[in-house]
Structures are given as structure tokens and as C-alpha cells.
A and B are shown apart, each in its own frame.
Chain A
Amino acid sequence: QVQLVESGGGVVQPGRSLRLSCAASGFTFSSYAMHWVRQAPGKGLEWVAVISYDGSNQYYADSVKVRFTISRDNSESTLYLQMNSLRAEDTAVYYCARGYCSMTSCYPAEYFLHWGQGTLVTVSS
């Protein structure tokens, strides 16, 4: 069955960096776009970024653009989120999610059937 396991969360000081990983199994990782979605404590869901099946295209939420980088290693079936210049408002549970789509032309029909359990990132001095 499909499994997505996030790791790399923790407590980090403002302005520092952190890299999250999402290990995928149970499906052909290289065939699907992958997303990061976050949820601040007591708040709603916020989409963060998407990367196409082959890593050639990435889109980001305005709130993280320039500071965060999504990437993937299809040979290792792993998704990454490099987070730089972290701010207190980046504190959240970060989920990776497998998309229905593989490439950008399909994104208007995108949805997430599979989610990881999430990893908590706390930005605090």
C-alpha cells in the first residue's frame, strides 16, 4: 500500500535552515507529482509547493517563494523540502502528499489521495 513518511522536523532558530524528507513506497514514485502542505498549530491547511513527476517544474506559495526549495530523488523515491531563512510563522506540521497528476497540465484537476503523517517544525529562539 502507499506509504509516505516524513522526517527532519524539529526546533530551529529564526533565520536558520532545515531540510525535510518524505520517503515514499508502495507506488511508482517517478510517475506522480508530489506536494508539501503545512498546518500551523490550531490553523487551517496551507499548500506549500509542488514538483512535477520528473522534477522539471516547481510551483510555490507566495509565503515561501525564494526561501523554500522543493526537490526529489526518483532513484531513492524521496521528496525534499529545503527551508531557509525560517520565520516564526513557518511553525507548522508539514505533510507530504501524493498528487493524482504527474505534470503541470493536469494540475487543474489535482487532488491528494495519499498523505504522510506529518512532521512538526517549530521555529523559535
Chain B
Amino acid sequence: QSVLTQPPSASETPGQRVTISCSGSSSNIGSNTVNWYQQLPGTAPKLLIYNINKRPSGVPDRFSGSKSGTSASLAISGLQSEDEADYYCAAWDDSLNGYVFGTGTKVTVL
């Protein structure tokens, strides 16, 4: 089972802001960088945010990340219908010597 905990779902109307939380521990989020991935139905995951708050080329600035202690958050502002997807946080875990993913959050645009 995953060591990073996310809410199973989040929803908001178009144009609004939605925030997804990711709770970890001192061995992962607390000591290492956090990344976020977006997965559209039937497709491979896509890197959305790396190193807590950096966006790869091509990712809109509507997506932003933050970290505080052993928790991290992904915010999506100006929500659009194409943002409907599953979102996963991830980090390296020093105790497990492995990369861990969050439980995933399904975002629905109402």
C-alpha cells in the first residue's frame, strides 16, 4: 500500500481553483523533493510538477505545487474540462530505498 496519502476525489466548476493534498512522512516528503503526475484515462502518466514547484516545458502555469513539512499540495487554478484526470504525488523514500506514489486523486470538473 502507498505511503503517501491523497484524497480520493476532488471537484469544482470550470474556472475555479482546486487543491489536492499529499501527506507523507519524514523519510519521503519531509526530506526529499515532491513531484506530481497527471494521468488521463487510458494514457501513460505525464509529469506535471517536479522538485516541489517546477513545471516542465508545456505545462500551463495554472498548475502549481508547494510543500510544508511532511505534506505537499497541488493547486489547479482556472479549472478547465481537460483537467479531468487522476493526479498522483510522488517522492523518493529514504527508509524504503524506493520511489513512492500517492494513492491518487480523481479530479472532476462539474
B-binding residues in A (CB < 8 A): 35, 37, 44-47, 50, 59-62, 95, 100, 107-113, 115-118
Say which size band chain B's interface belongs to: 20 to 34
Closest chain B CB from A120 CB (angstroms): 12
Bound complex: CA A107 to CA B94 (Å): 9
Q: Is the CB of A108 within 8 A of B45?
A: no
Cβ of B101: which chain A residues have Cβ within 8 Å of it? 37, 44-47
Closest chain B CB from A6 CB (angstroms): 10
Closest chain B CB from A41 CB (angstroms): 12
Closest chain B CB from A103 CB (angstroms): 13
Residues A111 and B103 in contact in the complex (CB < 8 Å), given A62-B96, A95-B44 = no
Task: List which B81-110 residues lie within 8 A (CB) of chain A.
Answer: 86, 88, 90, 92, 94, 96-104
Closest chain A CB from B45 CB (angstroms): 6
Bound complex: CA A66 to CA B101 (Å): 21
**Candidates A47, A95, A109, A112; contact of B100 at CB < 8 Å:** A47
Known: A44-B88, A45-B101, A112-B45. 20 other contacts (CB 8 A): A37-B45, A44-B101, A44-B104, A45-B45, A47-B99, A47-B101, A50-B99, A62-B96, A95-B44, A100-B50, A108-B33, A110-B99, A111-B33, A111-B35, A111-B51, A113-B50, A115-B45, A115-B46, A116-B44, A118-B44
Bound complex: CA A46 to CA B101 (Å): 6
Cβ of B96: which chain A residues have Cβ within 8 Å of it? 61-62
